[in-house]
Amino acid sequence: MSAISASEKVDGFTRKSMRKAQKQRKSQGSSQYRTQCAPVELSPLPQLKDAPSTEQQELFTQKLQQCCMLFDFMDSVTDLKSKEIKRATLNELVDYVSTNRGVLVETTYPEITTMICTNIFRTLPPSDNPDFDPEEDEPTLEASWPHVQLVYEFLLRFLENPDFQPSIAKRHIDQKFVLQLLELFDSEDPRERDFLKTILHRIYGKFLGLRAFIRKQINNIFLRFIYETEHFNGVAELLEILGSIINGFALPLKAEHKQFLMKVLIPLHTAKALALFHAQLAYCVVQFLEKDPTLTEPVIRGLLKFWPKTCSQKEVMFLGEIEEILDVIEPTQFKKIQEPLFKQISKCVANPHFQVAERALYFWNNEYILSLIEENIDKVLPIMFGSLYRISKEHWNPTIVALVYNVLKTLMEMNCTLFDELTSSYKADRQREKKKEQERDELWKKLDELRLSSAQNNSHGLPSVQNNNNNNNNNNNSNNNDTQDKSAEAAAVTSENKDPDDSVAAIESSPCAK
């Protein structure tokens, strides 16, 4: 018991770094071996390069069949000899298909695909760590990687071989094959996902008949990720492939592609783990906009709809993406979106989290954005002014205040008269807002009364409501602003009186005594 430090005894939640240290020991997993009975011991076959050319094909097939034997890598002591034989054979096969010409005859295709399917297609094991955080935790690595890696390598060389014929291969590399390949993208092992990315890219390039299918399945994976499981390890890799696919789309864009943008890529922004694939996602979005600028308005509206409410880190990413979009925006598109967009930006600059405010204020360092703002200063300035003016006085962070002063100065230089007008009407505007709020409260109060009275008494509920309503109409003449303001202040003061219980609770929980 003495090994446990006092701090740990107090704090049951062990630190993440400590947990991580424990984790690393067994960050290996595999469900490879599970489908098969005990493996038979392998005996080495002669080298392909030593065999006479007439027998090479036969030997190649034999070696492929030999490599269909699976071994248990979770148990590091069994079948050592056979594992080594398979490893050497796989190496030889990789070498064989990448350096020799004329080895891919039609009869080898089924053997090759069988070997690949047997080795790589498997149900991924359950994650060791159910709340696996890809940013913090070590991934579980595939235990059978020494073999699996070579099989992936072989598949890649097979696809890249100059003799490779998609017309023959398509009988084996079919929709089912692709579907299983896509499921493997959920692997926690980044090395595996990296191979899969390159392989899928090759397949997409070589098999025209599979392209639509691949896109649709990626669609399904993303939709399941967004709306059902919120868990899929390979989102970034799939987006990277899509980035280059989108790049190659023909114009005008098909409805299918636009739907993919609006119904899949934009909702992907809602994911909790956005940080893991945001760069790739933003790249895809910008690719779309460069292809077809008319998509700018729906895209920005989509981003505004999903704007993060509580996660500042994500908000910074959104702002980054908006800047990437603004970098390529056409001035006509800018005009269409400026109003809702700058309402959001105005909220961001006033964000109490200084990184969010800072990221938004950096927009004013961007020459192109600055020119767009200048062109539309009469629209942008009134939206931005309130927030900027307020935080220039209120923000807690001095850097932000300094940045805001610069922005205000820039804006003032763009349109001095408008700036002065806004400055002088600022107070009145605030008061008008306050009053509107009060009217809203009144309205709802009355509606609630109506609900109460109708609940209590169906026939006598109405008169009292009618009386109230007269007051409501009178309120429209706005000559009692001052009194309202005072009452609001008074309310604020009373709410500061604290409850004795509160202060006691604070004392009790404080560790040091008075």
Q: Which of residues 363-402 bind other proteins (CB under 8 A)?
A: none
Largest Cα span, the chain: 107
The mark string for 100-139 relative to other proteins (x by CB under 8 A, - otherwise) is: -----------------------x-xx-------------
Residues from 180 through 219 that contact other proteins (CB under 8 A): none
115 vs 21: CA distance, rounded Å: 37
Measured CA to CA, the distance from residue 258 to residue 265 in angstroms comes to: 10
Torsion angle of the four alpha carbons 323, 326, 328, 329, in this order, in degrees rounded to the nearest 10: 160
Torsion of CA 273, 277, 283, 289, to 10 degrees: -30
Q: Which of 409/451 has CB closer to other proteins?
A: 451
Size of the site for other proteins (CB under 8 A): 49
Min dist. Cβ of residue 34 to other proteins (A):
4
Instruction: Identify the residue among 443, 475, 484, 485 touching other proteins (CB under 8 A).
Output: 443
List of residues 6+ apart from 498 with CB closer than 8 A = none
CB neighbours of residue 482 within 10 Å: 9
Q: Please report whether residue 12 would count as binding other proteins according to CB under 8 A.
A: yes
- 328-357 footprint of other proteins as x/- string (CB under 8 A): ---------------x--------------
In what helix (H) or strand (E) does residue 470 lie, and over which residues does it extend?
helix 462-474
Min dist CB 88 to other proteins, Å, is 28
- Confirm or reject binding of residue 166 to other proteins (CB under 8 A): no
Q: How far apart are CA 122 and CA 28, in angstroms?
A: 16
Three-class SS string for 128-154?
A: CCCCCCCCCCCCCEECCHHHHHHHHHH
Q: Which is nearer to other proteins, 491 or 512 (CB)?
A: 512
How wide is the angle at C-alpha 240 spanned by C-alphas 212 and 290, nearest 5°? Answer: 80
Task: Name the token pair of 290.
Answer: 């460069």
Stretch that binds other proteins, among 144-152, 220-228, 320-328, 413-421 (CB under 8 A): 220-228
CB of 510 to other proteins, least distance (A): 9
Question: Which window, 102-110, 164-172, 238-246, 437-445, contacts other proteins (CB under 8 A)?
Answer: 437-445
Answer yes or no whether residue 25 interacts with other proteins by CB under 8 A: no
Distance CA 412, CA 357 (A): 20
Instruction: Please give the helix or strand (H or E) that residue 28 lies within, else none.
Output: strand 28-29
Q: Minimum CB separation from other proteins for residue 343, in Å?
A: 8
Q: Give whichever of 102 and 500 is closer to other proteins, judged by the CB atom.
A: 500
Is residue 305 a contact residue for other proteins (CB under 8 A)?
Answer: yes
* Token duo for residue 29: 């997993």
Quick one: 131 or 508, whose CB is closer to other proteins?
Answer: 508
User: Site residues (CB under 8 A) for other proteins?
Assistant: 1, 4, 6, 8-10, 12, 31, 34-35, 123, 125-126, 176, 179, 220, 223-224, 227-228, 263, 267, 305, 343, 440, 443-444, 447-448, 450-451, 453-454, 457-462, 465-466, 469, 500, 503-504, 507-508, 513-514
